[in-house]
A and B are shown apart, each in its own frame.
Chain A
Amino acid sequence: MKNNNSQKNQKLRNDIILAVVIVLIATAGLLLFVFNREQGTTVSVKVNGTQIASYPLAENREVPIKTGDNDEHINVLVIKDGKASISEADCPDKICVETRAVSYAGETVVCLPHKLVIEITNQNADGGIDVAV
Chain B
Amino acid sequence: MLIFTDSIIGGDKMKKVISIFMAMSILFIQILTFVGCEEKSKLNKYSNYYFDYFDTATTIIGYEKTQEEFDATCEEIKTLLNEYHRLFTIYNRYEGLNNLVTINDVNDGKHDVVTVDKKIIDMLIFAKEMYQKTNGNVNIAMGSVLKIWHIYRNDGLDDPVNAELPPMDKLEEASKHTNINDLVIDEENNTVFLADPQMTLDVGAIAKGYAVEQIAKHLEEKGVTGYILNVGGNVRTIGMADREKWKVGIENPDTENKEKPFIEYLKIAGESVVTSGSYQRFYVVNGENYHHIIDPETLMPGTKYRSVSVLTNDSGLGDAMSTALFLMDYEDGKKLVEETENVEAMWVMNDGEQIYSDGFKNYTFDYEAEK
Contact call B248/A130, Cβ cutoff below 8 A: yes
Contact call B262/A49, Cβ cutoff below 8 A: no
Q: How far is the CB of A76 from chain B (nearest CB, A)?
A: 19
Contact call A16/B8, Cβ cutoff below 8 A: yes
Contact call B246/A100, Cβ cutoff below 8 A: no
Which residues 79-133 in A have Cβ within 8 Å of B in the complex? 92-93, 98, 100-104, 106-108, 110, 112, 115, 117, 119, 124-125, 127-133
Task: Say which residue of B27, B47, B50, B371 sits within 8 Å of A26 (CB atoms).
Answer: B27
Contact call B8/A15, Cβ cutoff below 8 A: yes
Q: How far is the CB of B229 from chain A (nearest CB, A)?
A: 10
Contact call A124/B241, Cβ cutoff below 8 A: no
Instruction: Tell me if B233 is interfacial: C-beta within 8 Å of chain A.
Output: yes
Contact call B309/A133, Cβ cutoff below 8 A: yes
Interface residues on A, range: 35 or more
Task: Say which residue of B8, B241, B265 sits within 8 Å of A12 (CB atoms).
Answer: B8
Instruction: Tell me if A22 is interfacial: C-beta within 8 Å of chain B.
Output: yes
Cα distance A15–B27 in the bound complex, in angstroms: 17
Cα distance A33–B31 in the bound complex, in angstroms: 10
Task: Say which residue of B27, B41, B249 sits within 8 Å of A132 (CB atoms).
Answer: B249
Contact with A along B50-84 (1 / 0, CB 8 A): 11000011010100000000000000000000000
Output the nearest chain A residue to B274 by Cβ-Cβ distance: A133
With known contacts A15-B4, A15-B8, A46-B49, A131–B248 Cβ distance under 8 A: yes
Cα distance A11–B48 in the bound complex, in angstroms: 61
Instruction: Tell me if A8 is interfacial: C-beta within 8 Å of chain B.
Output: yes
Contact call A131/B262, Cβ cutoff below 8 A: no
Q: How far is the CB of A3 from chain B (nearest CB, A)?
A: 15
Contact call B20/A104, Cβ cutoff below 8 A: no
Which residues 8-49 in A have Cβ within 8 Å of B in the complex? 8, 11-12, 15-16, 18-19, 22, 25-26, 29-30, 33, 46, 48-49
With known contacts A112-B57, A129-B249, A107–B261 Cβ distance under 8 A: yes
Interface residues on B, range: 35 or more
Q: How far is the CB of B170 from chain A (nearest CB, A)?
A: 25
Q: How far is the CB of B33 from chain A (nearest CB, A)?
A: 7
Q: How far is the CB of B300 from chain A (nearest CB, A)?
A: 23
Task: Say which residue of A16, A112, A124 sits within 8 Å of B51 (CB atoms).
Answer: A112
- Chain B positions within 8 Å of A106 at CB level: 247, 249
Contact call B30/A26, Cβ cutoff below 8 A: yes
- Chain B positions within 8 Å of A129 at CB level: 247-249, 262, 265, 367
Jot down 17 A-B pairs with beta carbons below 8 A, ordered by A: A15-B4, A15-B8, A15-B16, A18-B20, A18-B23, A26-B27, A26-B30, A29-B30, A49-B49, A104-B249, A108-B59, A129-B265, A129-B367, A130-B61, A133-B233, A133-B235, A133-B251
